[in-house]
Chains A and B, each alone.
Chain A
Amino acid sequence: MDVQHPFSDETTELPDPTEMPDIKVGAMAASKPYVAPCTIQEALNYPGELVENWQEKAVAKLGDLVGRYRSLKVFLDSCVKCGACTDKCHYFLGTGDPKNMPVARQDLLRKVYRRNFTLAGKYAPWLVGAVDLTEEVLDDWYTYFHQCSQCRRCSVFCPYGIDTAEISMAAREIMDHIGKGQKYSNEIIGKVFKIGNNLGLPPKALKATLEGLEEEIEEETGAPVKLPLDEQGADILLVTPSADFFASPHMEGLIGYAKVFHAAGAKWTLSSHASEAANFAMFIGSYETMREISLRIRKAAMDLGVKRIIFGECGHAWRVAYSFMNTLAGPFDFLDPKYPVPQHILEFTEEQIANGTVKLDKSKNDHMTLTFHDSCNVARASRMGPKPGGQFDIPRAVIKASVNNYHDMADETIKEKTFCCGGGGGLLTDELLDLRKKGAMPRMRALKEVEVNHGVTHMAAICAICKAQFSKVLPEYGFDREAIVSVHQLVSNAIILDKPNEAEAD
C-alpha cells in the first residue's frame, strides 16, 4: 500500500498471539507419539501390550482414580461447558483442532466417566454425551491426551479451576495400565531407575563432563571454579536436569550456577545417584513412580550429609520439587531448618546478589536485549521466595541485575497467563515435531512483537524442556536458534570473579 499508516513509526501491528483460529475438525487426528514397546512398559511394571479385557480394565482404573483424586472427581463433575477455556490452549490456537480446546479434551475422558459412573450417563447417555469406551475413543485418548502439555493455562481461566493437566495425567495413567503407554516418557523414566538420569549418562561420563567444564571455566576466567560430584560433607546438594550436562544453552546455565556458588563461597555438590531433577512420572500421572524418583533425591541428600537442597533451572522439576517433594519424600527434618526445602537456584542467586556476595557487570551482556519466557510449571504450579508471584519477580530481578536491556512480552502471554513452549508434558519427542511447532506459535508471535518493536534479540528461560524446544522451533519461525538462553547464562556472562593472582596482588 502507498498510504503510510499513521502509527507506523511507533509500533508495527503483528499477528496477535491469542488470535482465534477457525475450527478445523480432525486437523491433528494423525498426530500421536510412538507407543511404548513391551520392554519399556514391563520395566515400569505395566502390561507390555494392550491387554485383552482393556475396556473393563480401563473403566476399573478410572473408577480407582476417581476415588483417589478429589481433583479428578470434582473436575469431571463440575464442568458446565461455559466455554471460558476454549480459546486458551496453545495447541488449539496453533492447530484449530477443536479437540484441543481444553473442555473438549476433558470430554474425551468425561464421556466415558459419565457412561460408567453417573446416573444420567447410564440411563440417558444421548442426553449428556456419554459413550462407551470403544477402540475409537481409546484412539482419541492416545492422540489428544498426548497433545496436552499439562501447562495449566486453562485452569487459570476456568471458573471452577478445572485443570486439564489432572485429566490428561489420569488418562495417561489409565492407558499405561492397559498396556498403551507412551514410548518417550516411559523410556526416560526407565533410564532414571537404571542409570540415574533421563539421558542415561553414567557416573563416569558425568565426572568427565564436569572436569571438562572446570577446565573450560578456568581457561576462560582464570578462576578455579569447581563442579564437585558426590562430595561428602558439602552443604548444598544441587539437583539439576541432566540436559544441563550436555545440551546448549543448558550447559551455560550450569556454568552460571557453579560460578555463583564459587563467588558465594558455598560448599556444594552434585550427586551421581540423583543426577536428574526432572521427574517424568508426573507426565504419566503416576504418584508411585513420581515418589520413587523423589526418594532418590532424599537418599542422595542423606548419604552425602548435606544441609540444603537446591534445584537447577527446570520447569516441571521445580513443580515436583516445590509442590510435591515434601509430600512424596519428606519430611526433610534432617536438613538445616534455616532454609526452605527445596530451594530454587534463582532464590539462592537473588539472595547473593542482594547481599553483595555476587557482583555483576551488566555491560558484559550489552550485545543482547532480553525478554523472559515464564515456564508454565514454574508460573502456575509453584512459587519462589516468600511471596505469591515470586516466581515471576525473582527471575526478572536476576535478569535485570545481569543485563542492561530488558523488555517483557505482551501481558496476556506472560506470568500466570504465559504460554507453554509447546514441548512440555512429555511431548518433547521428534515424532511430535509438527505439533510442537504449531503449539509454539503464540509464544513465537509474542516474541516477534518485542523483536520488531523493542529490538529484543534473546529470550531467557528457566526450564530444560523450554530451552530444548525453542532451540528446535525458533528457526522454524525465522529466529536464530541461539536466541534462547539460560537465565544463569546471563549471570555467568556478567559475574565478576576474583582471580587468585589478583587477590594476591591486593
Chain B
Amino acid sequence: MLTMIYAALFYAATAILLAGVGYRIWQYASTPAPLKIPTTPAPITTTGVAFRMAREVLVFESLFKSNKWIWAFGIVFHGALAVVLLRHFRYFQQPVWSVIGLVQPFGVYAGFAMVAGLAGLWARRIVVPRIRYISGPSDHLMLALLVAIGVSGLTLKFVARTDIVAVKAFFLGLMRLSIQPLPADPFLLIHLGLVAALMIVFPYSKLLHAPGVFFSPTRNQADNPRERRHLSKWAAKLEANRAEGA
C-alpha cells in the first residue's frame, strides 16, 4: 500500500515538474521582448552573451557585486545542492557511471554544506531588518522545506539508516514501470515525501528563478541595437500603418 502511494506520488510529481517547467519555458520563450534592454555594459556578440550568462549561472556574478554574504551562502547552498543531486544519481542508474562514483564521498560533505548555506540565508531573513521586511511566509516555508530535505537525508546517512539497496530497486523499478517494495522507514518516507513536494511546487513558486534567469532580457540580449534592427511580432504590426513615401 505504502509502496503504491509513493510510486503514484513520484509519477505525479515528475509529471508536474516536467510539464510545469516545460510550460513555463514555453511561456517565456514565446512572450516577445519588444525592446533591447540589456543592462550595460553588455557583450556585443552572442558568444559574449553566452559567457555573461555562464558567469551569472555558475558564479552568480551580479550577486557577487551586490553582497558578499548573500553570495557566499547562496553559492555554498547551490554548489552543494548540485553535488548532492549528482550523488543521488546512483539511485537511478545501473551500472553507476564512474563520475557519479567519484562524487560519492564529496556528496556527504556537500549535504552538510547545503544545510549550512540554507541556515545562513535563513538567518539573514530573520536578523537583517530590510530582508526581514521583504520576506513572506512562502520564503520561510521554502527554506524550511529545503532544510528538512537536507536534514532528513543526513539522518538517513548518519542516524537512522535504511535499506538503500531496496530504495534503489524501488526507483529503478519506477523507471522500468515495475513497482518494487519501498522500505517503510519513517525518515526515508519523510525525505522522499518532502522531495516530491518540492518537485510539485517547483513550477508554481519562486523556484522558477532557475529557468527564468536564462530568459532575462537584461542578461541574455547582446548590445547591438544600432547594428541590427530588433523587431517583435506585435511591434511589426504597427509598421503596417506607417504612412510615408520611403
A residues engaging B (CB < 8 A)?
A: 20, 23, 66-71, 73-75, 77-88, 98, 101, 103-104, 107, 118-120, 126-129, 152, 155-163, 166, 287-288, 291, 295, 299, 302, 322-324, 326-327, 330-331, 334, 340-342, 379-383, 387-389, 391-392, 416-417
Contacts and interface: CB of A to CB of B under 8 A. Distances in A.
Nearest to B219: A161
A73 B218 contact: no
Interface stretch (B1-9, B129-137, B162-170): B129-137
B81 to A, nearest CB: 14
A291 B199 CA distance: 44
Contact of B44 (A322, A379, A388): A388
B31 A70 contact: yes
A489 B231 CA distance: 37
B41 A388 contact: yes
Contacts of A162: 216, 218
A417 B66 CA distance: 10
Given A381-B37, A416-B41, A70 B133 contact: no
Candidate in B35, B39, B62, B133 with the most chain A CB atoms within 10 angstroms: B39
| In the A-B complex, the 4 residue pairs with the closest CB atoms | A78-B212, A157-B66, A161-B218, A388-B41
B99 interface: no
A23 B129 contact: yes
Interface residues of B, number: 65
B36 A163 contact: no
Nearest to A21: B130
B42 interface: yes
Given A160-B209, A382-B40, A84 B246 contact: no
A166 B40 contact: no
Contacts of B212: 74, 77-78, 160
A256 B195 CA distance: 66
B34 A287 contact: yes
B43 to A, nearest CB: 7
Contacts of B40: 379-383, 388, 391, 416
Contacts of A104: 133-134
Nearest to A156: B39
The interface residues of chain A, by DSSP majority, are classed as helix
Interface string B21-52: 00010011001111111011111100000000
Interface in B213-246: 213, 215-219, 223, 225-231, 234-235, 238, 242, 244, 246
A162 B219 CA distance: 9
Contacts of A82: 63, 70, 74, 121
Contacts of B159: none
Contacts of B31: 66-70, 73
Which of A79, A158, A299 has the most chain B CB within a 10 Å cutoff? A158
A79 B48 CA distance: 25
8 contacts: A69-B32, A71-B37, A126-B137, A155-B39, A161-B218, A380-B40, A388-B44, A416-B40
B3 to A, nearest CB: 29
B185 interface: no
Contact of A327 (B133, B134, B215, B225): B225
B115 to A, nearest CB: 18
A341 B121 CA distance: 47
Given A98-B133, A126-B137, 9 more contacts: A81-B139, A120-B138, A127-B138, A158-B66, A161-B217, A327-B229, A334-B246, A383-B42, A416-B39
B187 interface: no
A71 B212 CA distance: 10
